[in-house]
Amino acid sequence: MPAVVICTKSDEYDKMLSNVMEIKARKAIVVGVVDPKNFHMKSNFDYSIEVPNTSKDFSPILNQIPLQLIAYFCAIYRGCDVDKPRNLAKSVTVE
C-alpha cells in the first residue's frame, strides 16, 4: 500500500523524517512531496514530487495541489465519478 507524505520544511520536519523511516521499514511504497531544499530526503522515497520553496505560511497551499491531483487521477483510474464523491474516508494521524 502506498503512503503519500508531505516533507517540506516545517516545525514537524524531524518527526516526519522518523515517520518516513518507519513507513519504509514496513516495506510500503512512499511518495514524498518535497521542496528543493530536501534533496537528501529524495533517497528515502520511491517517488517524489517537488513543489517550489516558499514560506511556512504559504507551504500548505502549494502542498495541496499535487495531493489533489493524485486524488483526482486515482479516482478516475478506479472509475469513480469525481463530481459526486460518496463515502469519503479521512484519516488523521495525531502525535
For 65-85, the pLDDT digits (tens) are 999 999 899 989 999 888 775
Is the CATH code 3.30.1360 the one for domain 2-78? no
Predicted local distance difference test score (pLDDT) of residue 29: 93
For 7-65, the pLDDT digits (tens) are 887 777 778 888 888 999 999 999 999 888 877 777 889 998 999 988 888 888 898 99
Predicted local distance difference test score (pLDDT) of residue 64: 92
Predicted local distance difference test score (pLDDT) of residue 12: 76
Distance CA 36, CA 80 (A): 34
Predicted local distance difference test score (pLDDT) of residue 11: 74
pLDDT at 88 over 70: no
pLDDT at 92 over 60: no
More confident residue, 91 or 26: 26
Q: How far is CA 74 from CA 32, 67, 80, 87, in A?
A: 16, 11, 9, 15
Distance CA 80, CA 74 (A): 9
Distance CA 95, CA 84 (A): 32
